[in-house]
């Protein structure tokens, strides 16, 4: 399934919270400039990870933080934000 998110020109600033089919996701780029899409649902109690920056993604419910490069937890038990799609630049 292909889902068009936004015009590529609007995706220059990442990380970015986006909605796809009424669910929240975090769109980011890795160190190679490739897009990565993570679920914004915290694996702890399913809150929304919506405090996002270049340094970390944070769930405001209990302060769990995640590495924006791979989605792995930084300050909690081993947990990881789920990633779903391979994102390709289509020109």
Contacts of 6 (CB under 8 A, 6+ apart): 18
Q: What is the arrangement of strands in the sheet containing 16-20, beginning at the earlier edge strand?
A: 16-20, 23-29, 35-39, 83-86
Ordered DSSP codes for 53-90: -SS-EE-TTT--EE-TTT-BBSSSSS-B--EEEE----
pLDDT tens profile 16-59: 999 888 999 999 988 888 888 999 999 999 999 999 999 999 99
CB 80 within 8 A of CB 73: yes
**Whole-angstrom Cα distance, residue 4 to residue 6?**
6
pLDDT value at residue 2: 53
pLDDT value at residue 10: 62
């Amino acid at each position: 399934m292909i889902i068009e998110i936004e015009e590529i020109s609007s995706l220059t600033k990442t990380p970015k919270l986006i909605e796809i089919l009424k669910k929240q996701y975090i769109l980011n780029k890795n160190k190679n400039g490739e897009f990565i899409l993570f679920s914004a649902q915290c694996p702890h109690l399913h809150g929304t990870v919506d405090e996002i920056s270049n340094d970390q993604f944070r769930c405001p419910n209990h302060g769990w933080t995640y590495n924006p490069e791979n989605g792995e937890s930084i300050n909690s038990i081993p947990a990881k934000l789920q990633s779903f799609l391979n994102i390709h630049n289509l020109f």
